[in-house]
Amino acid sequence: MKINNIDDVKALLSQTDRKIFWIWITAYMRVLPALFLWKNFEILCYKNSIDNEILRKITKVHSLQENWEEIQKLSTADILNSNYVKNLFTQEKEINLQVYKTTPEIEDFAVRNWYNIIWNSVENRDRYENKKEFREILASIWVETISWENMNYDDFMVKNYDFFSQKYWNKIVIQLPDITIWWGLWTIFINSNEDFIKFKEKIAKQSYKNTKINSLNVTKFITWISSSITWCATKFWTLSTKIQTQVIDIPEVISLKKWNWVFCWHDWSFKKYSDTVNKKASEMIEKIWNFMYQNWYKWIFGLDLIVNEEEEQVYIVECNSRYTWAFPMISFIDLKNSIIPMDAFHIMEFLWIDYEIDFDKINSSYKYDKSWSHIILSNKNDDEITIKKDLIPWVYSFTWTEISYLREWIWYSDINSENEFIIIDWNPSSGEKIRWAWELSRFCHLLFPFSIIENENTLNEKAKTIINIIYKQYT
């Protein structure tokens, strides 16, 4: 069957009875497939956030918290190994698991129970997320990278700051290639000899943040715009978006005392990159797709980029061989513009569904300029905070002195003016404690119909005012 629009996707997927369970900490970030999978889709999450009420009007949502079950840590593996999920799965004939990314624990769970996973294997996926191995792959397919080298731990420890500053100038970036979690753990900025000495003291026992260090990447520091591109490898070729600007190190929403180079989500309105820049990115993507698909990698992933607008130069920094944090927001925007979300192709490829597309037409449909943004709010304090009142989700209006609840609903298409925005995801109840920890530090997700930054590290006054009002009213 040839796929031309989202109705065709719905019609094709309605013919399969293979049920998919999306597993994640909160339900909102995984609700998108419900819009085209209908009865064959359910969400398994941990948190019983207030927004689950409206999400259940769209699809079936299971919450461990709501069923009085706690887990050791907020991870997909712990959710899957909970008693509630084990009991639920005994009632199902066939289980297909959709996860953020595969891990050895998830693969072991699936193998033991004869479940299918909608994702690439750990072995296939990890090679691209490893910062050393991926850059070696780029070199093998003739994709230029920022000047860098990889050194084993012992070789690095006998070097001094002058050795690197003479090669890469005064500022260097150190990456720990074996750490693949996202929260700024693996990137360290060295601006002086003092920084270098302090870092060596931190890794004196050959570990960093409780992780063993086998080797280190040392890279030249470049002050360009942090960007990314989202794509989905299909049997036809790779579908890809235009370049999108990342929002980095925003002090209004994170603690810069604890982290650096922290990704705070996207601003699609901020920059419209030139055709030349986007073309260069597309050419690199074609080379990478050819390598990855030949090595059995399929489905969604993302590339982090550094862009120099003046010189129209693009460098690839790393590969996120998993669902990226652009989802599901980018898919909500696509649906608003009557474009098939990449999630649909991701699922059809995995389920080996026979479909045809006009590739050039579909791929071109993703290359439009988007006028939206989003950001996550978290606990910035050193200690836990207590929520003052229920953080009701859905559409709000804004003035320079207050925000006001307007109406229900959760999509970008429900925002009707530049003075409206959406509060969604994690929505805590009055009295709830928000701890300082990676996943547990968050308490809401904001969706805007306008640009929120002046540059990648600085909010504009409109966004800053809205965010400050929310912190003041609720924390």
Tens digit of pLDDT for each residue in 100-154?
989 999 999 999 999 999 888 999 899 998 989 999 999 999 998 999 999 999 9
Q: What is the mean pLDDT of the chain?
A: 91
CB 118 within 8 A of CB 98: yes
Range of the domain at 73: 6-119
Q: Do 235 and 339 reside in the same domain of the chain?
A: yes
pLDDT computed for residue 21 by the predictor: 96
Report the pLDDT averaged over residues 186-194.
Answer: 89
Q: Is residue 199 part of a domain?
A: yes
Q: Is the pLDDT of residue 439 over 80?
A: no
| pLDDT bucket at 362, cuts 50 / 70 / 90 | very high
Confidence of residue 227 (pLDDT cuts 50, 70, 90): very high
CA angle 120/330/453 to nearest 5° reads: 120
Task: For residue 91, tell me if it sits in a domain.
Answer: yes
CA 278 to CA 367: how far, in whole Å?
9
Return the pLDDT at 57.
94
Structurally, the chain folds into a number of domains equal to 4
pLDDT at 286: 85
Are 100 and 126 in a shared domain?
no
Segment 432-443 mean pLDDT: 76
Do residue 358 and residue 260 come from a single domain? yes
Task: Place 438 in a pLDDT band, splitting at 50, 70 and 90.
Answer: low
Longest dimension (CA), the chain: 64
Distances (CA, A) of 65 to 47, 197, 425: 6, 45, 15
* More confident: 158 or 380: 158
352 and 390 housed in the same domain: no
Residue 11 scores a pLDDT above 70: yes
The predicted model gives 241-267 an average pLDDT of 85
Checking if the pLDDT of 355 tops 70, the result is yes
> For position 237, what pLDDT does the model report?
86
Reported pTM: 0.92
| Nearest alpha carbon to residue 444 among 421, 462, 460 | 421
Q: How far apart are CA 379 and CA 438, in angstroms?
A: 10
C-alpha–C-alpha distance, residues 317 and 222, integer Å: 11
78 in a domain, yes or no?
Answer: yes
Q: What per-residue confidence (pLDDT) applies to 47?
A: 93
- The pLDDT of residue 235 is 86
| 181: confidence class by pLDDT, cuts 50, 70, 90 | low
Among 181, 177, 133, 145, residue whose Cα is nearest residue 291: 133
- Burial (CB < 10 A; 0-12, 13-18, 19+), residue 94, is exposed
Asked if residue 423 has pLDDT above 90, the reply is: yes
> Would you place residue 437 in the very low, low, confident or very high pLDDT band (cuts 50, 70, 90)?
low
The per-residue pLDDT for range 393-418, each reduced to its tens digit, is 999 999 999 999 999 988 999 999 99
Lowest-pLDDT range of 179-193, 326-340, 420-434: 179-193
Band of pLDDT at residue 66, cut at 50, 70 and 90: very high
Q: Which residues lie across from 248 on neighbouring strands? A: 263
Question: Which DSSP helix (H) or strand (E) runs through 396?
Answer: strand 394-398
Amino acid 381: pLDDT? 85
pLDDT (mean) for 175-186: 70
- Per-residue exposure over 413-432, b if at least 16 CB sit within 10 Å of its own CB, e if not: ebbeeeebbbbbbbbbeeeb
Residue 1 lies in a domain: no
Q: Same domain for 154 and 126? A: no
* Domain end among 220, 252, 276: 220
Regarding whether 247 and 106 lie in a shared domain, the answer is no
Average pLDDT over residues 175-185: 69
Residue 263 shares a structural domain with residue 165:
no
Average pLDDT for 373-390 = 92
Query: Do both 68 and 165 map to the same domain?
Result: no
Q: What pLDDT, in 10s, does the model give residues 277-308?
A: 999 998 998 899 889 888 888 889 899 999 99
Same-domain check for residues 131 and 185:
no
Q: Are residues 419 and 471 in the same domain?
A: yes
Domain shared by 299 and 390, yes or no: no
Residue 191 lies in a domain: yes
Query: Which of 179, 196, 220 marks a domain boundary?
Result: 220
* pLDDT above 90: residue 427: yes
Q: Map tokens 């978290």 to a residue.
A: 378
Last residue of a domain, one of 370, 403, 433: 370
pLDDT at 267 over 60: yes
Look at residue 412 in the predicted model and tell me its pLDDT.
Answer: 93
233 and 355 share one domain? yes
Q: Which residue has the higher pLDDT, 446 or 121?
A: 446
Q: Report residue 38's pLDDT band, with 50, 70 and 90 as the boundaries.
A: confident
Per-residue pLDDT, averaged over 358-363, amounts to: 96
The mean pLDDT of 196-216, rounded to a whole number, is: 91
Confidence of residue 455 (pLDDT cuts 50, 70, 90): confident
Degrees, nearest 5: CA angle 400-405-406:
105
318's tokens = 């790393």
Where residue 157 sits, what CATH number does that domain have?
Answer: 3.30.1490
